[in-house]
Amino acid sequence: MEIKKVGVIGCGLMGHGIVQVAAQGGCEVIAVEAQQDFLDKGLARIEKSVKKLAEKAVEKGKATPEQAEAQAAATLGRIHGSLDKKDLADCDLVIEAIVENLDVKKALFKELGGLCAAKTIFASNTSSFPIGEMAAASGRPARFVGLHFFNPVQLMRLVEVVRTDATDEEVFAAARAFGEACGKSPVSCKDTPGFVVNRLLVPYMVQALQMLERGDATKEDIDTAMQLGCGYPMGPLTLTDYVGLDTTLFILQGWKERYPNEPAFEVPALLVKLVAEGKLGRKTGEGFYKWDGDKRS
């Protein structure tokens, strides 16, 4: 069960990175978006990132300029944009990386279940929703996994591969092998809220937000403390900006609804307020901090 042709639905923050690493791993990739301008934006980000990684490879002496250029061109040549989900019909694997809304995801998988060949494996990049519910909606629960990548997908080395009780062993093995082909280290997860990383990470972000709400420390001091005290590459508030305040809120609201008595899943009022103000983090130029591209001020 080899994965050679991959479809990715959604070419945003996570989707564009998944398209890129799959193409870097040698797969033909169809990137599907709902609108041409979203697709153009995603493909432009990929081109920029591929070029950056090629420059880095030359700088580090891992490739000559000619080799790096040829590799970058080959990666980009394997990526095809589309506005039509029907183009995914004969893919070996289709990964969903759309908005973090369970009803929208379930409707998408129901549609894909009718469109794609019987061999096609489906995967969701959801951060927090039950894989089993999407698997049921798709009509092919045995061929359904979670493939949870991390932001920025191009640089983060982990992928969580999530199975339900219904996932076929061969499908799960193929999904792990695909993760490795993308240059990632896969970890196997059960279908539990937040899998491994977000079950630990999101409550930690909530604690940092509540600390800020209470006025226990400034945002800068909270972030510096965790960076220098724990050796984390980013402090929790910078990381929330990086992940997206809206995404963090969607995750928490989904969990709160399902597990109302779990104290780790409290939704901080400050998060709700900032999202309502359109301060979603790096992607909108402002969250806890102001952002100019990748640079925080």
Q: Pattern of binders to ligand 3HC over 199-238, x per CB under 6 A?
A: --x-------------------------------xx----
Alpha carbon distance 291, 165 (integer Å): 43
**Does residue 150 bind ligand 3HC (CB under 6 A)?**
yes
Pairing relationship of beta strands 121-124 and 144-149 according to DSSP bridges: parallel
Residue 127 annotated to the active site: yes
Residue 198 annotated to the active site: yes
Residue with Cβ nearer ligand 3HC (60 or 214):
60
Task: Identify the residue among 98, 182, 209, 239 touching ligand 3HC (CB under 6 A).
Answer: 239
| Cα dihedral 116/140/177/71 (nearest 10) | 20
Q: Of 96, 100, 148, 286, which residue is the catalytic one?
A: 148
Task: Identify the residue among 24, 138, 198, 240 touching ligand 3HC (CB under 6 A).
Answer: 198
What minimum distance in Å lies between the beta carbon of 97 and ligand 3HC? Answer: 10
**Does residue 12 bind ligand 3HC (CB under 6 A)?**
no
* Structural contact between residues 145 and 161, judged by C-beta atoms closer than 8 angstroms: yes
The site for ligand 3HC, by CB under 6 A, has a size of 18
What minimum distance in Å lies between the beta carbon of 65 and ligand 3HC? Answer: 16
What minimum distance in Å lies between the beta carbon of 291 and ligand 3HC? Answer: 12
Residue with Cβ nearer ligand 3HC (115 or 207):
207
User: Please, which of residues 37-96 interact with ligand 3HC by CB under 6 A?
Assistant: 49, 52-53
**SS3 assignment for the chain:** CCCCEEEEECCCCCHHHHHHHHHHCCCEEEEECCCHHHHHHHHHHHHHHHHHHHHHHHHCCCCCHHHHHHHHHHHHHCEEEECCHHHHCCCCEEEECCCCCHHHHHHHHHHHHHHCCCCCEEEECCCCCCHHHHHHHHCCHHHEEEEEECCCCCCCCEEEEEECCCCCHHHHHHHHHHHHHCCCEEEEEECCCCCCHHHHHHHHHHHHHHHHHHCCCCHHHHHHHHHHHHCCCCCHHHHHHHHCHHHHHHHHHHHHHHCCCCHHHCCCHHHHHHHHCCCCEHHHCECCCEEECCEEC
Residue with Cβ nearer ligand 3HC (91 or 226):
226
- For ligand 3HC, which residue has the nearest CB? 127
Residue with Cβ nearer ligand 3HC (166 or 234):
234
Q: Of 125, 127, 128, 138, which residue is the catalytic one?
A: 127
What minimum distance in Å lies between the beta carbon of 238 and ligand 3HC? Answer: 8
Residue 80 annotated to the active site: no
Interface residues toward ligand 3HC, by CB under 6 A: 49, 52-53, 127, 150-152, 154-156, 198, 201, 233-234, 239, 243, 247, 294
Q: Which residues are catalytic?
A: 127, 148, 160, 198
